[in-house]
Amino acid sequence: MKFMFILLVLLLGGSAKANDIVDVHGVNHHVAKEIKKRYEKRVQHIETKLMKEFSTVGANVQNPQRVQQWLNQKNQLVQEIKQHGHFAFVDLQTVNYPGKKNIYTTIEIVQSNQKNRLSFIPPKTYQSTGPKRHDLIELMIVYQHKAMRLLMSNQLDLHDQTCPVYHCTVPFTHPTLKPYLALFNQGVIHEKPLIIETLNHDKNPERRAAAAFLVGHFHDPHEIITLLLPHVTDQHDGVRNNVLRVIGETIARAHITEINALPFLTLLDSPYVTDRNKALLVLLTMADSEYGKKQIIKHGRARLLTLHHLKQPNNHDIAEMILKKTGLRTGLHSHGSESNG
C-alpha cells in the first residue's frame, strides 16, 4: 500500500527542468516559515529526483537501486525535520499536474499535541499471510495496476472523461481495459455480498480499497453513498482515498447534496493531501445546496482558509471555489502564503 501511495502522489512524471514548489501544512505561520527556510532546497532536490525516477516506471527503465537511494535520503530528511521540531509525524507528499511545469510538495506535519490529527495516520502496512483470492476483488486490483501502468506510460487520453458508471478511475476505452467494464458490471450483480463483506470486514486495506471502487459500479447512487459513508474514516489513507473518490463522483453525477458535511470537513485536518483534496471535491458539490452551504459556513471557514493559504493546487483551488460558493470570501490571503495549520 505504501508503494502504491508513492506511485499515486508521484503519478504523472515531470521533466528535470520542473520547479518544486514547497508548502508546509499543520503548523502556524512562523513555524512553517522557519521549516521552509531550513529545508526547502533539500526537499526540492530529493522530490525532483524522485519524480524523474518514477516518470520512467511506465517505460520499464526504472533503476530500483537508485530509487531506493533517493527514498532513503527522503526518509532521512523526514526524520531530521521530525526531530528538529519534536513533531509526532512528518511526511513529504508530492503531486505533479498534467500540463503544469511545476511539481508541488507539501511538508505535512502533525504536532505532538494534535491527537485528533494522529488518528488519520495508518498503522504499519498490512502484510498478507495467505494466498491470493482469485475473486472479483482481486480482479479490480489487477485492473487498477494495469490502468496505472498505462497512465504512467502516457497511453491514456487524459481528456477522455467517458464513464458509464458512477465512478471510473480512468476511462474503459483503452483496448487493454475495455473488457473489464462488463466484468465489473456483471460482477457487482452476482457478487454484491462479497463486495460489501470485503468493504466492511476484510483486514487487507488493498482489498477494502478495491471493494470501494466496485461499489462505484452499483446502480443506486443512494445505496452507494449509504454503503461508503461509514468508511470515510477508515484507518488507512488508501481506503479513504478510494471511498472519497467514489462518493465525490457519485454525488456530482446524481446531484445528491444533502448529506452530512461534518465527516468531510473533519478530513480537511488530515495530514494527507489525498484526503483533503477528495473531501474538498465532495464539499464543492454539497455547496450547491442550502443545506450543505449552511453546514460548511458553520463548521468550515477556518479549515478552508488554511487550505486556501497553500500553493498546492488541488487544495488551494478547490478551497477557493468553495469559499466563493458559500460567500466565505472575507479573510482570503494571497496565494503564496503558508498554512496556518
Residue range 327-341, pLDDT digits in tens: 987 555 444 333 444
Average pLDDT for 275-291 = 96
> pTM of the prediction?
0.87
Q: What is the DSSP string of 92-144?
A: EEEEE-TT-S-EEEEEEEE-TT-HHHHTTS--SPP---SPPP-SHHHHHHHHH
Q: Cell for 145?
A: 495496476
Find out whether 283 and 324 touch, Cβ atoms under 8 Å.
Answer: no
SS3 89: strand
SS3 185: helix
Tell me how far apart the alpha carbons of residues 310 and 319 are, in angstroms, rounded to a whole number. Answer: 10
SS3 210: helix
* Residue 191 scores a pLDDT above 90: yes
Predicted confidence (pLDDT) per residue in 31-70, tens digit: 999 999 999 999 999 998 888 887 665 545 567 888 899 9
Task: Please report the pLDDT score of residue 39 as a whole number.
Answer: 97
* Residue 128 scores a pLDDT above 70: no
Residue ranges of domains in the chain, CATH in brackets: 2-118 (no CATH), 136-326 (1.25.10.10)
Query: Which of 69-78, 97-106, 281-290 bottoms out in mean pLDDT, i.e. has the lowest?
Result: 97-106
